Structure 1
Amino acid sequence: MATVIRMPQLAAGGAEAAIQTWLVSTGDTVSVGQPLAEIETEKAVVGYESEVEGVFAGAVVEAGAAAAVGAPIAVVAAPGEELDAALAQAGIAPAGGDAVLAEPEEAGPEPADDAPAKAEPMPTARAQPEPSMTGSGESKRLFASPLVRRLAKEHGVDLAALKGTGPNGRIVRRDLEAHLATAETQPAQAAPAAGPAAAASAPVETAEYTDLPHTGMRRAIARRLTESVTTIPQFQVVADCRVDELLDLRKRINEQADASVSVNDLIVKAVAGAMQDVPDANAIWTDAATRRFSGVDIGIAVAVPGGLLTPVVRGVERLSLGQVALATRDLAERAREGRLKQHELEGGSFAVSNLGMYGTREFTAIINPPHSGILAVGAAQRRPVVADGTLGAASVMTVTLSADHRVLDGALAAKWLAAFVRRIESPLSILL
């Protein structure tokens, strides 16, 4: 008996995901645990493994297209079962020798093509009906996923004008993105003249522009950080750290141990040490309680093509400096290559965002929910300092702590930041 493979929920709260690549072809034998596809969520590309054995009868959702969680994405036939029979059983019909999906029904009844559009409350406006594709004297459904319909509506694109490249002429996301990328900028239409004064007004010239469709990652960043600044009462605490001893320690470690320890690795270890010094800061807010952690899991902000990811290093307090260096480098590399697993992006109570490599003196970072804090790290710069009444110069690094006031009050945040600065300025304590 054929098995319908459905889109799994790979991310907590995720409503849909996209097939990035199918790793099997129609007719291939598949076994339990065999990778079938790479699926893109809002934050990561996740490998999906088969839970059944049999013969891959066909993909329901082609590579590059999105589907809602729980929607059919493929069919696996039982061993010895005819592929056409398996497809027919799953509601899929072969066309030209290749399997194509019969268009799934949308949730809820659709109005008849000739049904009048509902009137909006405003008497002068009327809702536009869903675009339809017309054939020879008979209208038929437009094959497009809910995601494509939503994106088309946001960009003001009439889907009827697009030619779908998916199965059965289905319009997929890449069709819409290609249309948006190649569309020529249309000049704004002049408003009707209201009189002699309006006719005398010169037309307003605007610069040419290109609309770049939002990626899933960009939408996730927009949603989560908007949620952060609108629901989390955030405040900042700033401190300067003298880092000459830290930089010298890093140099000696890398020379003597043939290692590759970065300043950021030392900062991550110092954050973990400060959490142990001030355990009340190692907590997050939940609706029911303040959740305090015994271990220290720290998110590392990583710039990736098209956005930002924050993979989490687990149990930093138990790791040596070398282990932290290996873990952060591995997570950062796989983040840039799109190979992180979803669980590597979840959890933790705190994050570090370092822009020092760009020469940024200082900045403020936004808390990434559900974390209760994030440390923004600036560049180490030579600055004038006064020590024992004598003016001199030192390498100074400015750090800014953004804290969730529901979890950390001002005094607690200041206490934690002071503990962090002590460890940075006495770097041997980081190694203990």
Structure 2
Amino acid sequence: MPIEIKMPALSPTMEEGTLAKWLVKEGDEVKSGDIMAEIETDKATMEFEAVDEGRIAKIMVAEGTDGVKVGAVIALLEGEGEESAPPPAAKEEEEEAPAPADHGKPADAAVAREEKPAAPAPAPAPAPAATPAPAAARHDGDRVKASPLARRMAADKGVDLSGVSGSGPNGRIVKADVEKAQPGAAAPAASAAAPAEAPAAAPKPAQVPDIPHETTKLSNMRKTIARRLTESKQQVPHIYLTVDVQLDKLLKLRAELNAGLEARGVKLSVNDLLIKALAVSLVQVPKCNVMFTPDQLVSFHRADISVAVSTPEGLITPVITEADSASLSSISTRMKDLAARARDKKLKPEEFTGGTASLSNMGMFGIKQFEAVINPPQGMILAIGAGDKRPWVMPDGTLGVASIMSATGSFDHRAIDGADGAQLMQAFKTLVESPLSMLA
């Protein structure tokens, strides 16, 4: 019996993906560990390895197909000595022809027997009612009756099958019905018998104005960003705390360290030092190094910092693990490598998942201050603004000019109280203004 090869979940947040490229074809022999396909997840393009060995009997999903659900069958693999059964789609074509209105009863009855469950529950006593509408016959409980080919075509075209009238036997939706339907076809209005607490309909897409424009298909990454950040703002009560931080001593230390590291080919960025400062702050204020779950509060014993990296398709947050105890040169080297591979969509899942808190720096764009959205299930994210020259009261009380940066912490108020968040921001400010202490 052929082995079903299913769409894998290649990241913790992956619900669907794009089968970007097949690296095998029907008839090819594969062994465990062979690379079979390239799959675009919500975060990266990853290689998919064979687990079993055998011959590719049938490729069920063509390369370039978007929106392939995790767990969907994408290919069939024959073991040694097996013969493949005719693929489901082959028989399907024979069923696809719509029956004429005066089609004989025997053929309809045969299809009806095929659709019926093996052991139907006893029917309740019939109640007097009007003759049902013709399309009602294609529903079996909450399932729309449609051929497998029609379902695949509907998924590819973005057609809602609940809004399509079936012309096949017993109202079954067939290929011809999907071909006639328009993408995004709306479902018919709910009947009076629908439950009173039916879920609210999804908001209608905005009407595009009649202005010259172009459209870009949403990538899996952009869809995931939209979903997760919407959930964050809807479900996580954010509290925002801002401090102004003097940078002069940190900038001086960075210059001295870079002079010493030049022979090793390492050049520290300001961001590298801020990653270190946040990590040390979280260890000093452990009440902010937490994760909220519905029934418990998880407190972490080390600080792994997720760092926002901009890519052409959206933000991704590779993780600097053990940033509180790592050297600055290690943080800098790892950060450059992770950022480069993030932009090339070559990160491994373990390199962008986890993290106990996040840091997002928009100072390079001249943004003075902003409030970042928390990346669940983390408890906080630090937003870094640009450093610039501002009037500043010096330690001796005189007025001078200093390099000042605004930093804003966004905290999950379910897990972190305002006073604890303020304590973290104060610890961060102290470390940046006295940077040698973070190296001790």
Q: TM-score over 0.5 for the alignment?
A: yes
Counterpart residue number, 2:84: 86
Which runs of structure 2 are paired with 1:13-412 in the superposition (5 Å)? 14-65=14-65, 66-79=67-80, 85-86=83-84, 88=86, 91=88, 116=134, 142=150, 144=152, 147-149=155-157, 151=158, 206-258=210-262, 259-387=266-394, 388-412=396-420
Secondary structure at 1:317's aligned position in 2?
A: coil
TM-score, scaled relative to structure 2: 0.72
Task: Give the residue type in structure 1 aligned to 2:315.
Answer: L
State the percentage of identical aligned residues: 40
CA distance 1:145–1:216, shift in 2 (3 Å)? farther
Mapped contact 1:67–1:145 kept (Cα < 8 A) = no
- Are the counterparts in 1 of residues 89 and 149 from structure 2 also a CA contact under 8 Å? no
1:404 maps to amino acid: D
Distance 1:13 1:386, change over 3 A: closer
In the TM superposition, residue 143 of structure 1 has moved relative to its aligned partner by 6.3
Aligned-pair Cα RMSD in Å? 3.6
Native 8 Å contact 2:89 2:148 kept in 1? no
| Amino acid corresponding to residue 296 of structure 2 in structure 1 | A
Note closer, same or farther for the CA distance 1:39–1:145 as it changes in structure 2 (3 Å cut): farther
Whether the 8 Å CA contact 1:5–1:73 is kept in 2: the answer is yes
The Cα offsets for residues 214-246 of structure 1, whole Å up to 9 and x where unpaired, read as 322222111111111111111110011111121
> Which residues of structure 1 form unaligned runs of 5+?
95-99, 104-108, 119-129, 133-138, 157-167, 177-204
- Measure, in 2, the Cα distance between the counterparts of 1:326 and 1:140: 51
What do residues 121-168 of structure 1 show as CA deviations (whole Å, max 9, x unaligned)?
xxxxxxxxx9x9xxxxxx99646456434x456xx9xxxxxxxxxxx9
Q: Which amino acid aligns with 1:77?
A: E
Q: Distance in 2 between matches of 1:282 and 1:146?
A: 46
Query: Matches of 1:140 and 1:216 in 2, distance apart?
Result: 25
Q: Identify which range, 217-226 or 18-27, moves more after superposition.
A: 18-27
Q: Distance in 2 between matches of 1:291 and 1:147?
A: 40
Give the whole-Å Cα distance in 1 for the aligned partners of 2:352 and 2:247: 30
Give secondary structure in 1 for the equivalent of 2:410. Answer: strand
Displacement, 1:257?
A: 1.0
Whole-Å separation in 1 of the counterparts to 2:340 and 2:54 = 35
Residue 339 of structure 1 deviates from its aligned partner by: 1.2
| Contact 1:301–1:351 (CA under 8 A) maintained in structure 2 | yes
Measure, in 2, the Cα distance between the counterparts of 1:55 and 1:43.
30
Tell me if structure 1 keeps the 8 A contact 2:280–2:303: no
- Measured after TM superposition, the shift of residue 306 of structure 1 is 2.0
Shift of 1:317: 2.0
Q: Which moved more, 1:17-26 or 1:372-381?
A: 17-26
Secondary structure at 1:428 match in 2: helix
The structure-2 alpha-carbon separation of the partners of 1:292 and 1:140, relative to structure 1 and needing over 3 Å to count, comes to closer
Using the TM superposition, give the Cα deviation of residue 332 of structure 1 relative to its aligned residue in structure 2, in angstroms.
Answer: 1.2
Q: CA deviation at 1:364?
A: 0.8
**In structure 1, C-alpha distance between the alignment counterparts of 2:401 and 2:50, rounded to whole Å:** 61
Amino acid of the structure 2 residue aligned with 1:233: P
Taking the aligned partners of 1:216 and 1:12, their CA distance within structure 2 comes to 14
Q: Deviations over 1:293-317 (max 9, x none)?
A: 1121111111111211112222212
The answer to whether the 8 A contact 1:268-1:352 is kept is yes
Number of residue pairs matched?
Answer: 357
Match of 1:10 in 2: 10
Matched-pair contact (CA < 8 Å) for 2:13–2:42: no
Q: Deviations over 1:361-408 (max 9, x none)?
A: 111111011111000001111111121232211111110000111111
Change (3 A) 1:87 1:326: farther
